[in-house]
Amino acid sequence: MRPWNPPAPVKVAARFPIRFAVALALACTIAALAAVPSGAASHEHGDALGDSQGRLDLAGASFTQDGPTLTITIRTAHPIPAGARPGGSRGTLCVNVAWGSPDVVRRRLCVIGRGGAWLLHDNVISPTSGRITARHTRHRIVRQAGSRLTISAAPALLGLPIGLVHFNVRSTWNRGAACAATPPPDDGTATGAASTEGCPDALPDRGTFSARVWRAVAAGCTPGRGQVSNGPRGRKVVALTFDDGPSTYTPGILRTLSSLHARATFFQIGQQIPGQGAIERQILAAGNAIGNHTWSHASVAGGGSFARGQLSRTSSQIISTTGGYHPCVFRPPYGATSGALVSVSGALGMTSVIWDVDTNDWQLPGTAAVISRAVGGTRPGSIVLMHDGGGPRAGTAAAVGPIVRQLRAKGYSFVTVPELLGLGTRWRLSKS
């Protein structure tokens, strides 16, 4: 156990000096600790200016989660010039993170200015020895604008758990008259969080501030319209799609996708959804998308009120079973489409989605054929048609892993259809 401060003598609220407590009361956004139904939460803390003589005098910090992205913002009293960037012997600027016990640091995120770029040293700290046991160098997640530094990433990339975490920002500055005669610490070897070397600053001055890391669950996407057969061809991304579920094959396909960190889109038949809430939530929790595939797999190419009824009933079922996910993509059964149908789906906020790679897996050609058709047919921006329902789908289920591995080896990454089409995802933050 290696506390970053002497143990607090009394309860948490009393650990902070009065000045900080006032700032906390004024600035702390209650939303961060309450149940948050919307997709964003934030927590803001200030620090007195001039309490450090160094160039890295801290002015404030905030902790914000917007959907799946966590942003830690650190404000300094003065803009950080290129010559005063932390890292190496000039100084350090790190965020200590604890969970479980607020006194035990488990992660130390240090921003490093190197050349013209910023990077993050994500140090894994042993909770028993306090020593660094591993370090991951992350690029392109630290940004600076004047006196504002941000670290933006998915919580999992920073190694943070879902739940309550405790933060503490520390800086030291080792140059200039007031701070010069001090040994240069290195962010990688300093194990104690509180440095007495150089000109230090801390935020909060003592103890930690707390914030919650939420699980981001997709709540829907930006309404779409029109019809597409593929996405933009400029990037090596592909959207795998599965029609005619949910079915008994869906959980196995989900497990395969999750184990490979790949996402897909499930175009579902409305009448099969009641009672499948667990599968629906699992689909969304893993970052996949749900699309509308009519209520009874009817041909709705004639448009009009029949199509409208089939589509709106299915969207309502998806919304009620998932607890609020509004689909923004629709796939016409049999690919049977028309201008009249596209206007019906558009009026309901959904882009009609065909495909440009057909595995014809419903004809049961065998796993090898499904794999070779999916992998061989895919181009940048492709939409691949497969089925997780409507018949025996073991062959398709067995093909999913090889398809993902082979396309990934060719440089493809996997996106949902809403992502492929640039239809932004709306998020809900969940406590667990």
Catalogue the active-site residues: 243, 387
CB of 238 to Zn ion, least distance (A): 20
For Zn ion, which is the closer residue by CB, 201 or 244?
A: 244
For Zn ion, which is the closer residue by CB, 243 or 280?
A: 243
For Zn ion, which is the closer residue by CB, 155 or 333?
A: 333
Please pick, from the candidates 57, 103, 244, 361, the single residue that binds Zn ion as defined by CB under 5 A: 244
Q: 79 and 147 in contact (C-beta within 8 Å)?
A: yes
CB contact set of 369 (below 8 Å; sequence gap of 6+): 359
* Tally of CB atoms within 10 A around 179: 20
Residue written as tokens 């440089």?
A: 411
CB of 397 to Zn ion, least distance (A): 17
CB of 226 to Zn ion, least distance (A): 20
CA 424 from chain centre, in angstroms, equals 13
243 binds Zn ion (CB under 5 A): yes
Residues 62-101 touching Zn ion, rule: CB under 5 A, are: none
Q: 376 and 358 in contact (C-beta within 8 Å)?
A: no
Q: 103 and 3 in contact (C-beta within 8 Å)?
A: yes
Binding residue count for Zn ion, defined by CB under 5 A: 3
Rounded to 5 degrees, φ, ψ at 278 are: -65, -45
Among 305, 325, 306, 302, smallest CA distance to 315 is for 325
Cα 236–Cα 242–Cα 247 angle in degrees, nearest 5: 150
Tokens of 58: 């801290």
CB contact set of 204 (below 8 Å; sequence gap of 6+): 16, 20, 24, 45, 47, 168
CB of 385 to Zn ion, least distance (A): 9
For Zn ion, which is the closer residue by CB, 91 or 389?
A: 389
CB of 254 to Zn ion, least distance (A): 19
CB of 270 to Zn ion, least distance (A): 12
Residue number with the shortest CB distance to Zn ion? 243
CB of 297 to Zn ion, least distance (A): 6
Rounded to 5 degrees, φ, ψ at 75 are: -110, 135
CB of 294 to Zn ion, least distance (A): 8
Among 428, 162, 416, smallest CA distance to 319 is for 428
Tokens of 290: 């749900």
For Zn ion, which is the closer residue by CB, 214 or 267?
A: 267
For Zn ion, which is the closer residue by CB, 92 or 314?
A: 314
For Zn ion, which is the closer residue by CB, 333 or 349?
A: 333
d(CA 297, CA 310): 9
Residues 290-329 touching Zn ion, rule: CB under 5 A, are: none
| Per-residue H/E/C for 164-220 | EEEEEEEEEECCCCCCCCCCCCCCCCCCCCCCCCCEEEEECCCCCEEEEECEEEEEE
Query: Which segment (36-44, 184-192, 333-341, 414-422) binds Zn ion by CB under 5 A?
Result: 333-341
d(CA 93, CA 393): 53
For Zn ion, which is the closer residue by CB, 31 or 354?
A: 354
333 binds Zn ion (CB under 5 A): yes
Tokens of 198: 């150089």
- Residues that bind Zn ion in the complex, under the rule CB under 5 A: 243-244, 333
